Amino acid sequence: MTVEPGWQLAVALAAFVVLGVAVARAGRLPLVSAIPWAAVRAAVQLVAVSLVVGLALSHPAWAFGFLTVMFTIGVVTTARRTELKGLRPRLAAAAAMAAGAVPVLLIVFLSGAAPLNGAAIVPIGSIVVGNMMTAHTLAARRAFAELRARIPEYEAYLSLGFTRNTAVTAIVTETLHEAIIPALDQTRTVGLVTLPGAYIGVLLGGGSPWEAAAAQVLVLVGINTGQACTAVTARWLMARGLLLPPDLLERLRP
């Protein structure tokens, strides 16, 4: 099964946008203009990406270059979502994402579980990078909200002689696991509730159901491990004042 570009696709996309806008308007959601804009942006971005994916698939070096661009955009996106300003916090966000993505990709390709070629690097790498971005965004947004709400508790820790490292770690740890729950739930329910992208992609590419299952379990288990690494690294960087938005950096003085 494939989806071919053509007037049928255009009709389906137009219907989606019209229905989404109508429901958002009727429901008074502040997303009326965002729905068509997101559709147009997605179409333009995918057309642009399609022009370079062919080159990226041709050689591992090009594939890793393409993946580096995606990683950079992911860092910029999560920095914006978590209100990180300046070079140092953004580099810290990149370090947290890399702490999850790099070990997973090294294990995948050095173990021989997936071939080291563009056709494997691009899809697997993009899935892993995207999920590390999501984990960082979820972990940081929740951690920053907790820290803002519990400034008196933080100050109490300091008054008792604890360091900023200990105080921030204690506050953030309580909710850190929530960043990993969506991926864990997807892993637990794979095949029962939904068939994720890697499985469908292998099937559409002509692979067998067994090959699709192998690719999907490899990706899902890797994502779980990578997101745990990203979340824990983000907490470590927050505790040292490297991964904090400006207001918290000012208020959480050691």
Residue 188's pLDDT is 84
Chain segment 162-207, per-residue pLDDT in tens? 999 999 999 999 999 999 988 888 888 876 666 666 666 665 566 6
Rg for the chain (alpha carbons), in Å? 21
DSSP per-residue codes, 172-203: HHHHHGGGTHHHHHHHHHBTTTB--HHHHHHH
**CA 50 vs CA 21, 66, 70, 160, 186: distances in Å:** 28, 12, 14, 57, 28
pLDDT at 206: 62
Contact 194, 103 (CB under 8 A): no
211-229 mean pLDDT: 87
Q: What is the pLDDT of residues 82-118, one digit of tens each?
A: 999 999 999 999 999 999 999 999 999 999 988 888 8
User: Which residues, in sequence order, are CB contacts of 232 under 8 Å at separation 6+?
Assistant: 99, 176
* pTM for the model: 0.81
Distance of alpha carbon 173 from alpha carbon 92, whole angstroms? 18
Q: Which two tokens stand for residue 148?
A: 């803002």
Token code pair at residue 134: 């999501």
> With 90 as the cut, is the pLDDT of residue 77 above it?
yes
pLDDT band at 28 (very low <50, low <70, confident <90, very high): confident
Task: Give the pLDDT confidence score for residue 1 in this predicted structure.
Answer: 45
- Per the rule left: phi > 0, alpha: psi between -120 and 50, beta: everything else, 72 is alpha
Provide mean pLDDT across the span 133-160: 94
**Confidence (pLDDT) at 185:** 85
Q: What is the pLDDT at residue 2?
A: 59
